[in-house]
Amino acid sequence: MYKVKTFNLISSKGLERFSRDKYEVSSDASQPHAILLRSHKLHNEVLDNSVLAVARAGAGVNNVPVADYSKRGIAVFNTPGANANAVKELVLAGMLLSSRGIKPGIDHVSTLHNISDAAELHKTLEAQKKQFSGSELKGKTLGIIGLGAIGSLVADMALALGMKVVGFDPALSIEAAWRLSSEVQRAENMHALLAKCDYVSLHVPAIEPTIHMINADALAQAKEGMVLVNFARESIVDPEAVANALDKRILRTYVCDFPEPVFYGREDVIAMPHIGASTAEAEENCAMMAADQIMDFLENGNIKNS
Q: Is 260 a catalytic residue?
A: yes
Contact between 6 and ligand MLT per CB under 6 A:
no
Q: Mark 271-290 with x for binding to ligand MLT (rule: CB under 6 A) and - for no binding.
A: ---x--x-------------
Mention every residue, 6+ apart, whose C-beta is less than 8 A from residue 100. 132, 134, 135
Q: Which stretch binds ligand MLT (CB under 6 A): 54-62, 207-215, 217-225, 241-249?
A: 54-62
- Give me the least distance between CB of 289 and ligand MLT, in Å please: 11
Q: Is 113 a catalytic residue?
A: no
Residue 83's CB is within 10 A of a number of other CB atoms, namely: 25
DSSP state of 122: H
DSSP state of 236: G
Among 38, 88, 164, 203, binds ligand MLT (CB under 6 A): 38
Active-site annotation holder among 33, 38, 233, 283: 233
Q: Mark 71-110 with x for binding to ligand MLT (rule: CB under 6 A) and - for no binding.
A: ------------x---------------------------
- Give me the least distance between CB of 66 and ligand MLT, in Å please: 13
Strand order in the sheet with 34-37: 23-26, 2-6, 34-37, 53-56, 75-77
* Distance separating the N- and C-terminal Cα atoms of the chain: 26
- Give me the least distance between CB of 125 and ligand MLT, in Å please: 37
Contact between 204 and ligand MLT per CB under 6 A:
no
Q: Name which of 79 and 253 has its Cβ closer to ligand MLT.
A: 79
Contact between 40 and ligand MLT per CB under 6 A:
no
Reduced 3-state DSSP string for 205-218: CCCHHHCCCECHHH
- Give me the least distance between CB of 80 and ligand MLT, in Å please: 8
Q: Name which of 209 and 301 has its Cβ closer to ligand MLT.
A: 209
Contact between 39 and ligand MLT per CB under 6 A:
yes
- Give me the phi and psi of 55, to 5 degrees please: -120, 130
Q: Is 274 a catalytic residue?
A: yes
- Contacts by 138-142, CB closer than 8 A, 24 or more apart: 138/162, 138/163, 139/163, 139/164, 140/164, 140/198, 140/199, 141/165, 141/166, 141/196, 141/197, 141/198, 141/199, 142/95, 142/166, 142/197, 142/198, 142/199, 142/200, 142/201
- Give me the phi and psi of 26, to 5 degrees please: -160, 160
Contact between 14 and ligand MLT per CB under 6 A:
no
Contacting positions for ligand MLT (CB under 6 A): 38-39, 58-60, 83, 274, 277
Question: What residues are annotated to the active site?
Answer: 233, 260, 274
